[in-house]
Structure 1
């Protein structure tokens, strides 16, 4: 059971399913029809590819973690997952609509610059720039799970931007939690993330503030649409996230994150 759990969590299968679920959430919140299967195939495949490439080439460090240990022990598995992700991504391209390719170009550039030192004047990936790291990662997740599935005509733009902003804030809070977890490592390697700059106490307060803004934006949408089930779902997401934040203060391991 432990081996299956490690594989499910650390192979990026779980986070790939989360990405698909967030895409579905976007279509539900905006009243759109479910996207073609190729869209979800692309999102899942791209997630597998990006995360496994990231951890495959990530430098090992003295701050050991369950995920790092799994990655080191399962190189062949990671190569297979990279191949699977690339294959799913290529397969989906044959069915995606032309308008999607502008989104894909933006996403590919962001993902590449985040993980690899491709800029000629900067000899390191953008993930090593603290504030830029969290902003780019939050934006990339928002583009994948909001812009990509909602990239079509006839949607209410006010609702769209409320969903976009809420998703960005939600992902920013989650990324902030990861930065808090990695605070000691980032400080040791000179990466000035928000927790390194502000400290843990102020970072936790910032996360709480962003969750309050998330709920307020949901309340604005409730006033516009009178859709209480959607508001309750967003409120529950904020409450569960707040509960998880409290949990990470006591249990700080990769299984929680």
Structure 2
């Protein structure tokens, strides 16, 4: 996804060290988050596996943390932009830590859905473009807003799936506060805004093929909404819906080969 942002909008490519840093920092974050999630998570097939192999996440966390620190040394000149991403990522997972001070964060995490979408958007769009020293034009801002709206819509589906679990465990969010009807109104609004911002990119000189590639996941996400509610299986969420986030990048990579 970060490569896609650079390929579309940056004048020069980024050093591979940045992508290595992003990969290992993401793995560090996921390992940390899921290591603490397994203690309270509902009994799905994936969660049962995580409980049985909890040490795997601890090992992955330690190894990926070392790699993250190593690749961070290649990006010291951009530390100002990297540290906020690390802090935001930690704050998203902090309520999972089984200590009273961190558990209190569950009561105030009303915007956790948007917060997660913002972290993903920052790491895969704004951050690589900043490090590439690309001037932020109107088109880039439209792109960032477009990607945020798509990611937010997908995050809504994830949080709606966990709605009952979050309510039972005192985890507050906009998705637990709103009625189901209003949640899906927000979902549709987010996708409409994604189309709008992507359309603004097209009218600012973006090619038709790039426009089609960017809006393709919008329609896929909309089509998956009902199934995600009726059949909230692990493969659907952690392979299909997660994959939709990077679908435009995959399409663009294939298109670039020709």
In the superposition, the TM-score normalised over structure 2's length comes to 0.82
1:248 to 206, 219, 228: 228
SS at match of 2:74: coil
SS at match of 1:67: helix
RMSD of the TM alignment (CA)?
Answer: 2.3
The 5-angstrom pairing of residues 1-257 of structure 1 reads 22-58=1-37, 60-61=39-40, 63-98=42-77, 100-116=78-94, 123-124=102-103, 126=105, 129-151=108-130, 152-257=132-237
SS at match of 1:61: coil
Q: In the TM superposition, what is the alpha-carbon distance from 1:226 to its structure 2 partner?
A: 4.2
Q: Is the 8 A contact 1:114 1:126 kept in 2?
A: no
- Rounded to whole Å, the distance in 2 between the matches of 1:30 and 1:73 is 44
Q: Is the 8 A contact 1:173 1:207 kept in 2?
A: yes
Q: Residue in 2 aligned with 1:18? A: none
Q: In the TM superposition, what is the alpha-carbon distance from 1:83 to its structure 2 partner?
A: 2.4
SS at match of 2:236: coil
Give structure 1 regions of 4+ aligned residues with deviation exceeding 6 angstroms.
none
Unaligned runs of 5+ residues in structure 2 are: 238-258
Unaligned runs of 5+ residues in structure 1 are: 1-21
Q: Indicate the structure with greater helix content.
A: 2
Which deviates the most, 226-235 or 75-84? 75-84
- Rounded to whole Å, the distance in 2 between the matches of 1:62 and 1:123 is 17
Deviations 1:58-94 (A, max 9, x none): 2523622233212111123222211231132122123
- Rounded to whole Å, the distance in 1 between the matches of 2:75 and 2:224 is 36
Count the aligned residue pairs: 234
Q: Is the 8 A contact 1:135 1:172 kept in 2?
A: yes
Deviations 1:115-145 (A, max 9, x none): 2259xx9643646534321122111111111
Q: Residue in 2 aligned with 1:15? A: none
Q: In the TM superposition, what is the alpha-carbon distance from 1:154 to its structure 2 partner?
A: 4.3
